[in-house]
Amino acid sequence: MWSGSPWPSRLEAATLRGGAPGRSADRDLDAVVSLFAQVARVSDRRRLTGVSTLLAQIEAQQIPADTLAERGVRGEAVRLLTAHRSKGLEWDVVVVAGVQEGVWPDLRRRSTLLEAERLAGDGLREPTGRADLLADERRLFYVALTRARRRLVVTAVAGTDEEGERPSRFLSELGVPVREHLERVARPLSLPSLVAALRRTAVDPAKSPAARRAAASRLARLAAAVDEKGRPLAPAAHPDRWWGMVPVSASDTPVHPEGKPVPLSGTSLSGLDECPLRWFLEHEVHAQSAASSAMGFGGVVHALADEVATGRTPADLDVLMSRLDTVWGQLAYDAPWQSAQQHEQAREALRRFLAWHAAARGRDLVATEVGFAVELDVPGGSVLVRGFMDRVELDRDGRVHVVDLKTGKAPFTKAAIAGHAQLGTYQLAVREGALDEVLPKRPEVGGAELVMLRVDDAGAPKVQGQDALEPSPTWVEALLDTAVRRVLGESFPPTPQDRCARCPFRTCCPAQPDGRQVVT
């Protein structure tokens, strides 16, 4: 549209002629460049789907248009304008605000797109130097100051070194002492700020009893004020709306019904040990967000691995990828490049699984996706340990090994594997009869392991094993006892940790700055 229009040639001709038409053409060109930059930014964000979408987005920005005509001032009003626009005008009172270094003087170089301001009768003039800019800024500051007939107020802010706010050098040239106001500036007299000021005074022990009584009296009057429909005009003035004044709520219904075992899985046991508050919000309140694309990735890879293990699908990577492609489009990824990246990672994870599955490890596969539910008694109460085992294998000595397939991107430390709650509960469940319907007799447990399908180890997945449990009482039973006592005692305190930065409940967690106002 731009190239096919005669407008560019007209603007170029006006710019070359100079004068007022040239300056106007320069401004038009600057506006066109800004429009093109806006289009580029929208295109980079992949949100541009047509001209109508672009126009709608630009119109939504509500950029005020400049007007050549000065609007008339009606009645006694305060005029807000630049120092340039104030030339030739006067008022009884003038306030020159924000006299900061970098603003007064502003020593940035001024130029238009085509630098038409450098055109002179005998050629091009040199760009304005800093000394000339400083002199121009000082003259402009003088113009602003001399608009006052009776009273002149000049303000500036002195910030910290980190903030970088410094008063202008021009303040020292005024010839009058500069008054510093370091006390706290009073709140603006809006209704919310008035209520806040009265509440602060009413409870401030440094205030006199008379001042506190007066503040409480005014709060009571504000709280009682209603409109013509009986609605409160200042609801925040009533103590029932104040943080910390409402008593902590309590429920007659316990978190867990009495007399029934507490149901826990290996995953929930780990979460309850890491952060009880997050576990409560996820498992009891069900406040967790919808399933993420990472969870969908893991579910698809697990399903294909199970098909290979059970013989329903050949152990062939091309066949598995064809099966993967039938459902991959249902996974919600934010961008096509992300979907392609994760698709390639799924291929690598399946390739590693096939290499591990075909390797000779001296074990026989007994079952896959084995569901179990075992009731145990611990000192704190009864617990129902339940879950699913990805793979159950027997070694040559007849011992059971539980294998859990993982699609996480980072391996665990040795200490984390040794105390991995999910592997520990698998072993304890097998010891207590979780495989009684799968195996003819209750076997000895030889250990458990994680197979990290997305962590490469010489072309195969990284395998991290947990040693067999010691005789009872084990560390897993101690962990279950703590969890049962916590659930039955309804104690779910927040536990700060490294994962807090990614926690979806930060804004309602009293251990985080975002949620300190929450009372639990």
In the structure, what pLDDT confidence band is assigned to residue 13 with cuts at 50, 70 and 90?
confident
How confident is the model at residue 69, as a pLDDT?
Answer: 47
Considering the domain architecture, whether residues 47 and 101 belong to the same structural domain is answered as no
- The DSSP code sequence of 207-270 is S-HHHHHHHHHHHHHHHH-B-TTS-BS-GGGSGGGSTTTSPPP--SS-SS-TTSPEEE-HHHHH
Domain count across the chain: 3
Q: What is the mean pLDDT of residues 35-48?
A: 68
How confident is the model at residue 68, as a pLDDT?
Answer: 46
- The DSSP code sequence of 434-466 is TTTTTSSSPPPEEEEEEEEEEEEETTEEEEEEE
- Measured between alpha carbons, how far is 129 from 131 in angstroms, rounded to an integer? 6
Considering the domain architecture, whether residues 52 and 108 belong to the same structural domain is answered as no
How confident is the model at residue 85, as a pLDDT?
Answer: 87
- Tell me the per-residue pLDDT of 381-431, one tens digit each, with 9 for 90 and over: 999 999 999 999 999 999 999 999 999 888 999 999 999 999 999 999 999
How confident is the model at residue 105, as a pLDDT?
Answer: 84
Please report whether residue 26 resides in a domain. Answer: yes
Please report whether residue 315 resides in a domain. Answer: no
Q: What is the mean pLDDT of residues 223-248?
A: 84
CATH number (domain holding residue 166): 3.30.160.800
pLDDT of 123 above 80: no
Please report whether residue 383 resides in a domain. Answer: no
- Tell me the per-residue pLDDT of 48-83, one tens digit each, with 9 for 90 and over: 567 777 777 777 776 554 444 455 555 677 888 888
Give the domain-ending residue among 224, 241, 258.
Answer: 241
In the structure, what pLDDT confidence band is assigned to residue 379 with cuts at 50, 70 and 90?
very high
Please report whether residue 286 resides in a domain. Answer: no
Give the domain-ending residue among 122, 140, 173.
Answer: 173
In the structure, what pLDDT confidence band is assigned to residue 285 with cuts at 50, 70 and 90?
confident
How confident is the model at residue 44, as a pLDDT?
Answer: 60
Please report whether residue 295 resides in a domain. Answer: no
How confident is the model at residue 430, as a pLDDT?
Answer: 93
Question: Which has the higher per-residue pLDDT, 6 or 60?
Answer: 6
Considering the domain architecture, whether residues 37 and 109 belong to the same structural domain is answered as no
Q: What is the mean pLDDT of residues 125-138?
A: 79
Asked if residue 419 lies in contact with residue 373, where contact means CB atoms within 8 angstroms, the answer is no
How confident is the model at residue 315, as a pLDDT?
Answer: 92
Please report whether residue 215 resides in a domain. Answer: yes
Structure tokens at 165: 């706010």
Query: Virtual CA dihedral for 33, 35, 38, 43, nearest 10 degrees?
Result: -100
Q: What is the mean pLDDT of residues 485-496?
A: 89
- Measured between alpha carbons, how far is 258 from 486 in angstroms, rounded to an integer? 14
Residue type for 19, please? G
Least confident of 7-16, 45-54, 95-104: 45-54
Please give the residue range of the domain that contains residue 221.
Answer: 191-241
Q: What is the mean pLDDT of residues 271-279?
A: 88
- Tell me the per-residue pLDDT of 419-472, one tens digit each, with 9 for 90 and over: 999 999 999 999 999 999 999 898 899 999 999 999 999 889 999 999 999 988
Please report whether residue 449 resides in a domain. Answer: no
Residue type for 179, please? R
| Average pLDDT of the chain, as a whole number | 85
Q: What is the mean pLDDT of residues 242-251?
A: 72
pLDDT of 242 above 50: yes
Q: What is the mean pLDDT of residues 96-124?
A: 76
How confident is the model at residue 66, as a pLDDT?
Answer: 47
- Measured between alpha carbons, how far is 461 from 357 in angstroms, rounded to an integer? 10
Considering the domain architecture, whether residues 157 and 101 belong to the same structural domain is answered as yes
Please report whether residue 303 resides in a domain. Answer: no
How confident is the model at residue 505, as a pLDDT?
Answer: 86
Considering the domain architecture, whether residues 98 and 160 belong to the same structural domain is answered as yes
Considering the domain architecture, whether residues 55 and 104 belong to the same structural domain is answered as no
Q: What is the mean pLDDT of residues 287-300?
A: 74
Structure tokens at 88: 């030739």
Considering the domain architecture, whether residues 108 and 158 belong to the same structural domain is answered as yes
